[in-house]
Amino acid sequence: MPHDYHKTVLDNGIRIVTKQMPHARSVAMGVWVNVGARDEKAEEAGLCHFIEHMMFKGTRRRTALQIAKEFDAIGGQCNAFTSKENTCYYAKVMDTHVDTMVDLLSDIFLNSVFDPREVERERQVILQEIRMLEDTPDDYVHVLLARDIWGNHPLGRSILGTQDTVITFDSNTIKECFKRAYQPERIVITAAGNLQHESFVELIGGSFGVVRNGNVLQERMPPTMDWNATAYPKDLEQVHICLGVGGVRTTDPRRHACMLLNVVMGGNMSSRLFQEVRERRGLAYAIYSFVSLFCDTGLLGVYVGVAKHNTEEVLRLIADEMNRLKKEPVDNAELRNGKEHLKGGLYLATESTDTQMTRLATNEIIFGRHVPLQEVVQDIERVTAEDILTLAQQTFQPDAVSVSLLGPVDGNVSYKDILVS
C-alpha cells in the first residue's frame, strides 16, 4: 500500500480515504453518497437532484447566504452533482483553510433544514433547469437515447426528473428521502492534497460519527435494453443524433478494451469518426463517441449534429466504421496511440487534487479498495488488438443498436434500416 494513501472506517461504517500530496497548496474534499437517480421510484424522479440543491439552502447554524459568503471569504470552490448512481458534495480550498472547509461541508451535509420556503424557491430554479436542458438539443438527445434504450427503468429517466414530478416534492418528501437514502454504509468521504490523514479524520470523525443507520435501501435492479430508432421532430437548424449499443459494467474485465475501442472510434481528434466525418468530408462540426459505465450495465455511444440533408450519409458512415471495427483488428499504431492517449489523461490528472479526490471515491465505491495508477496502466497495456476486435464483434450487432434523432427529421425514413443495411 502506498504511504500517501490512508483509509479509516468509522464505527458507523462511513469510510474516510485520503491521499497526501505534499507538493500541492490545495486540498480537495468530497462527501460521496452511493445513491443517485437510479435509486428513485418513478414518482420520485428528480428527488436526489432536488436534495442536492437543497443542501446549500440553509442549516441550523447558517443561512444560504452565510454559506456562500464563508466559502467566498476563503477563496474556496464548492459545488455538488447528482449522477445516475452517486451524489457528491465537494469543495477545494488552500491548505490553510481545511478546518473551515470541513466545518462548512459537515454543516451542509448533516444540518440542512430543508425549509419549506426555500424548497418552493428552489423548485422554480430546477424547473428552469429542466426547461434549459430541453432547449439544449445536443444534451437533451442523450436523455432521449437513455429513455429509448432503458424505457421505464430508472436509468432511462433524466437525473433532473420531470416538471410533473418536481412540482410534487415538499419539505417532508425531501427529509424522508434524505433519511432513507443517506445511509452510513453508502457514504465515502475523500480528500486529496496537502493534509495529514490523522488530523483530517479527527476533524471529520466527531461530526460524521453520529450518523445512524436507517431503513435498508431497495436493491438496484438490472435493466433490460430496447433497440430501435426514434425520431423527435423539432424546429432546429440541425439534426442531433445519438446512437447507442450495449457496453460493459464498471467492474467488467473488458472495461479497458471498451475504453480503447471508444478512443479509436471517436474519442479524440485523430479518431476514425472525427477524421472521416468532420475532417475529410466536412459533414459535422461536433462528432464524438462516449462510454457510460454503471454497476450492472453500460453504453457505448456516438453523438453527431448534422444538417438534415446529411443525416442518412452520416448514419451510413458511422455504421461503416462500426462494421470495419468488427472485421479488421486495429493496427499497431492506432493501438499504441490509443493507449498513450488513455495513459496521458490518467497521468496528467494526478497533478490535480480534485481529480485525485474523485479517483479515491470512485475506486472505494466501485472496488472497495485503493487501485494504484500503475495497476490501471498495466491493465491498459495488456489490451490487444484481438481484445478490441472481439469486443466490437460482441457489441456491434445489427439487432442491438438504438438511435435517437432530434430536429428536422423525416418521419418517412427508416433510420434503423440505414444503420443495419
Q: Which residues are catalytic?
A: 52
Q: How far apart are CA 124 and CA 163, in angstroms?
A: 10
Across the chain, how many H-helices and E-strands are there? 16, 11
R_g of the chain computed on alpha carbons: 23
Q: Which three cell numbers stand for residue 212?
A: 445512524
d(CA 194, CA 192): 7
Q: Distance (Å, rounded) from C-alpha 338 to C-alpha 340? A: 5
Give which of 18, 108, 34, 20 is closest to 71, Cα–Cα: 108
C-alpha span between 2 and 369 (Å, rounded): 12
CA distance 96 to 25: 8
Q: How far apart are CA 359 and CA 116, in angstroms?
A: 36
Q: Decide: 261 and 325 in contact? Cβ < 8 Å.
A: yes
Residue 202's SS3 state is helix
- Half-sphere exposure of 98 toward its Cβ, with a 13 Å CA cutoff? 21
The three grid cell numbers given for residue 102, joined into one nine-digit string: 470541513
C-beta of residue 247 within 8 angstroms of C-beta of residue 299: yes
Residues 6+ apart with CB under 8 A from 82: 36, 37, 48, 49, 52, 159
d(CA 248, CA 383): 15
Q: How many CB atoms lie within 10 A of CB 412?
A: 6
- Tell me whether strands 26-33 and 187-193 are parallel, antiparallel or unpaired: antiparallel
CA distances 102 to 89, 110, 204, 274, 409, Å, are 11, 12, 7, 44, 51
Q: Where are the beta strands (DSSP E) in 275-361?
A: 284-293, 298-306
